[in-house]
Structure 1
Amino acid sequence: MAYMLILRATEESQAAAKDVPFEDVINAMGVYNEALMDAGVLAGGDGLSDPNEGAVVEFTGDAPTIRLGAYGGVSERFSGYWGLNVASLDEATMWAARCPMVPGSSLEVRRITDESDFAEFEGNEYLEKEKTWREILQGDSQ
């Protein structure tokens, strides 16, 4: 099964992180990532830049609205992720608990959907195309 660990930063975790030298953060995350690699469970992952460097596309009216910068009023921000290939939610949460995080951080653990979640729609044109798309994307990443 595939799971995603979604890193959420809060005001508290951002304040705590200011007291930690950034090279220490890089090294601690490197050790964690290496453990995931050595265990053969890491499928991918990345950190994200500051939300102010991005945009928000809102679907609240007749046409999407694009607003540059962070989504306002959010106390937690999605700031990175890991994709894991593990056998269960228990294994995914075990790996999440090993992550070297500062106080106030959280990791949301979510299962990534697979074909079994869409079994009742077997034969759907776009689900069939998605199988081909996945093969193409996996070929490009190798």
Structure 2
Amino acid sequence: MISMNCFELFIQTYFTQLQVLDISRACAGEYINGFRWEQLISTSIQHLRIFALQISFKTNDPLMRENTIQQFQSPFWQEKQWFFICSSYSIMFDSYINLYSINPYRKKYYLLGNENTTEIDSMPFVVQLDIQCENV
């Protein structure tokens, strides 16, 4: 998947009227930064009504789970009534954390995935965007 910097630029350039965003993937840490999401949503996609997030990541930091969920419990998230759960599990010697929104939404969507090769000029009328990517 693209870096969070590129993702932010992509959203700011093409999807400022976005109303629904659903992201599900395994990733590195930059996508689990609640403060960064809060900034992006409040400055660039202010029409967002539904924010569904499901992210899994590997960590060896025992405090990561608590630190992650705290970032998604600020007044911003409560005001929007977007709530998240953070769970953890281990496989052998590796620890993983799942961060996901609760009360997922039923959806009709535009799918943007690895197989898309169309050049995008603008999509001003897209109100829901689902992104599916394989690991880099």
Task: Bin the TM-score by the shorter chain.
Answer: under 0.3
Q: TM-score, normalised by structure 1?
A: 0.24
Q: Which has the larger radius of gyration?
A: 1
The structure with the greater share of residues assigned to helix is 1
Of structures 1 and 2, the one scoring higher in RCO (CA 8 A, sep 6+) is 1
